[in-house]
Amino acid sequence: MTKKLLKLYLKIAKNEFISLPEGQKIALVFASLAVIFFIGIFSFIVLGISSTLPTDFFNSLFAYALTGVLAFNILFGVPQIFKNLYGASDLAFLFTLPIRTNQLFWVKFIQSLIGLPGLLWIASCVLITVFGVSAQASFLFYPISYITILLITLIGMGVAYLLNLVLIQIIPVNRAKELMTVMTAMAGIIVYVLFQIPNLMQNNIYTDELTVLPEFPSWIPMEWGGRVLSSAIFGTIQILPLSMLILFTVLLLFLSSSLVEKGFRTGWIKMNDGLRNRKKLKSKKNKNRIHSPIVSIGVKEWRAIQRDMREWVTFLPFIFLLVFPVASILNEGKTIDFILSHPNISWMLAQAAFLFMFIFMTAGFTSSSFAREAHAIHLLRILPLSGWQITLGKLWINWLIPVCLLSTLQVIASILLNWNPLATIFGIVIIAIASLGITGIGLWLGAIGAKYDANNPQNRLIGGVSFLLIFLCFSYVIIAMIPTMLVLLPIDSLNLFTDDEFTGLFGLLFTLLKWKAAHSLLFTFIGGFVSVIFSIGIAYFFLLLTVKKINQGINIKFVDKRG
C-alpha cells in the first residue's frame, strides 16, 4: 500500500506541474537558476576554504557544517511537515480508507523528505564533492560524506516531526490553530542552542589566538559526523562514530513513529474538528462608543490581530535576533563589565540595532494588513468610507504596535544598562518617526500584492512583491540611517575611530559627525529635521499610492488548501 500511495503522489505531482500556468513554470525555472547560481557561489567559497584551511580544522569545520544542515532542516522542515501532517486536504479521504495510520505516516515522511530536505541534501552533496576534489580526498570520502549528510538530514526531520507530534498533544484545543507559532519559536530556540553548544562547553575560557575552532562535545551527533568525515578524507573509516550516528538516527525515527497514532490521526482531528467543540463565551454587556472612522478601522485591525496568535509570528525572527545575542553577551563577564561601564556606547549600538530591526519588522507586519481582511475585503468597497480613511486607519495601528514593542524594549534596556532617561525617550521618538515611512511602504505593498493562505497566515505577500519589500527595506534603511544616526550618535563616539578608517557611506557619516562635533546643536537640528521630512514625505507618497489602489479595488490572491 505504501508503494501504491507513493506512485499516486508522484503522478499527482507530475500532473500538477503540467497543469501549472506558463508564468509559474517560468518562475520555477528562474528559481532553479537562482539556486544553481548560489550553489556556484558557495562552491567558490568552499574551494577557498579547502585549499587554505589546515587539516587540524577539518573535524570542527565538518561539525559546524553538519550543524548548519541540521539547523536548516529543523527551521524550514517544521512548517512543511506541519502542512503535510495536518494541512493536507487529502487526509480527510485517506483516513476513511482501510490503510494503517503508520503507512500514511511514512508516506508523508517520504513526501517531506523529497521536498526541501532533499534539495538541501543534494546541494550539500555538491558542496562536499567540491571540497573533496579541492582537498584531494580519498575516493572513500564521497560515499561516506553523502551517507553522513543524509543521516543528519534524517535527524533534522526526526526533530521536526517530534515537535509536531508532541506539541499537538500539549496545545489546548481552542489554541490548536496557533500551533505553528509555538513550533516556530521552539525550532528557533533549538537551532540557537545547537550553535551555542561549543561556547557553552568552553566554560568561559578563551584564548587570544584563534588557533582552533570551538569544539563540540563528543556526545553530539554532529561531532560524530565531523570525526567520520575528517577521517574519511584520508581514506579511513571510524566505525564507532558512524555506527552511533546511524543508531541515533534510527532511534529518533522510531520515537517519531511511536507517536503516530495519537499525534498524527488524533492531532489531525484536533486541528480540523476540535474547534467545533469550543465553549461559547458568555456575552458581556459592553458600552459601545461611536469612534471616528479612522479610529474604528484601527480598532478593527487590532481585534483581528489580537484574536489569532499566529499574527505575531512576524515578530519571532526579530525577537530571536535580539534575545539570543544578548544571551551570548551575558555569558561573557568582560563584555558585561565593558557595557555597564560605557552606557553611551551601549546606547549608540542599541539604537543602530533597533533602527535596522524595527524598520524590517514594521514593513513585514504592515504589509499583511490588507491580506488580513481575507474574504471580508469586499466590505471595504461597500462601506461609506473614503480611501484616505481606510488607509489612515490601517496606518496608525500598524505603526503603533511595533512602536509600543520598541518602547518596552528601550525602557527595559535603559534600566538594565543605566541609560540616561532623556536619551531613551529621544531614541524612541527618532526611531518611531523613521518607521513612519516604512509603514507607508508596507501598506502600499500589501495593497498591490496581498495573498491569503489560511494554513500559513504569516505568508501574506505574493512572491515578486516579497522581494520588492526586501529591496525597499534595505534602500530605506541605507538612506534613513544617515540623518537618523547624525541625531542619535553622541559626539564622543568620534574618539573610537581614526580619520581614515571609513570610506564610502560610513565615511560620509563620519564626516558629518565631525561637523556635528563643531556645531552640535545646529547639526542635531538639521539631522532631526531631515529625518522627519524624509520619513513623512515617503509615508505620504506611498499613502497616496495606497489610496489610489483602494479606490481602484484591492484583489487578494487566495491559496487553496490542497496538500
| Distance in angstroms (rounded) separating the CA atoms of residues 506 and 352 | 13
- Confidence (pLDDT) at 318: 66
Per-residue pLDDT of the chain (563 residues; tens, 9 = 90+): 777 777 877 887 777 777 777 766 776 777 778 778 888 888 888 887 777 777 777 777 888 888 888 888 887 777 777 777 776 677 777 777 777 877 887 888 888 888 788 888 898 899 889 888 888 888 888 899 999 999 999 988 888 888 777 777 766 655 555 666 666 666 666 666 665 666 555 544 444 444 455 667 777 888 888 888 888 888 888 888 889 989 999 998 888 888 776 677 777 776 666 444 444 444 444 455 656 888 888 888 888 887 766 676 666 666 666 665 666 566 556 667 777 777 877 888 788 888 888 888 888 888 888 888 888 887 777 888 888 999 999 999 999 998 988 888 888 888 888 888 888 888 888 888 988 999 999 999 999 988 887 766 667 788 778 778 888 888 888 888 778 777 776 666 556 555 555 555 556 666 767 777 777 778 778 888 888 999 999 999 999 999 999 988 888 888 765 44
Contact 549, 369 (CB under 8 A): no
Give the H/E segment covering residue 557: strand 557-558
Sign of CA dihedral 73, 460, 562, 102: positive
| Distance in angstroms (rounded) separating the CA atoms of residues 166 and 503 | 53
Residue 342 makes CB contacts below 8 A (sequence gap 6+) with none
Residue 9 is given by DSSP the state H
**3-state SS, residue 452:** strand
| Distance in angstroms (rounded) separating the CA atoms of residues 182 and 184 | 5
The reported pTM is 0.60
| Distance in angstroms (rounded) separating the CA atoms of residues 124 and 113 | 14
Closest CA to 145 of 84, 233, 81, 207: 233
Q: Where does residue 356 rank: exposed (0-12), middle (13-18), buried (19+ CB within 10 A)?
A: middle
Contact 309, 178 (CB under 8 A): yes
Q: Where does residue 322 rank: exposed (0-12), middle (13-18), buried (19+ CB within 10 A)?
A: middle
Scan for cell 520515537, then name that residue: 255
Cross-strand bridge partners of residue 558 = 452
Please give the grid coordinates belonging to residue 245: 550516528
Scan for cell 565615511, then name that residue: 507
| Distance in angstroms (rounded) separating the CA atoms of residues 394 and 303 | 12
Q: What is the 3-state secondary structure (H, E, C) of 406-432?
A: HHHHHHHHHHHHCCCHHHHHHHHHHHH
Helices and strands: H and E segment counts in the chain: 22, 2
- Confidence (pLDDT) at 284: 47
| Distance in angstroms (rounded) separating the CA atoms of residues 124 and 67 | 12
Please give the grid coordinates belonging to residue 239: 566505525
Contact 313, 181 (CB under 8 A): yes
Scan for cell 524612541, then name that residue: 428
Amino acid sitting at position 153: T
List the alpha helices (DSSP H) in 308-420: 316-330, 333-341, 343-366, 379-382, 387-417
- Confidence (pLDDT) at 272: 65
- Confidence (pLDDT) at 211: 44
Most distant CA atoms of the chain, gap in Å: 82
Q: Domain spans of the chain?
A: 53-276, 298-558
- Confidence (pLDDT) at 205: 43
- Confidence (pLDDT) at 563: 42
List the alpha helices (DSSP H) in 135-265: 141-170, 179-200, 221-232, 239-258, 260
Scan for cell 546541494, then name that residue: 123
Residue 331 is given by DSSP the state T
- Confidence (pLDDT) at 209: 44
- Confidence (pLDDT) at 540: 94
Contact 74, 193 (CB under 8 A): no
| Distance in angstroms (rounded) separating the CA atoms of residues 344 and 110 | 54
- Confidence (pLDDT) at 204: 45
**3-state SS, residue 473:** helix
Amino acid sitting at position 342: H
Cβ count within 10 A of residue 177: 18
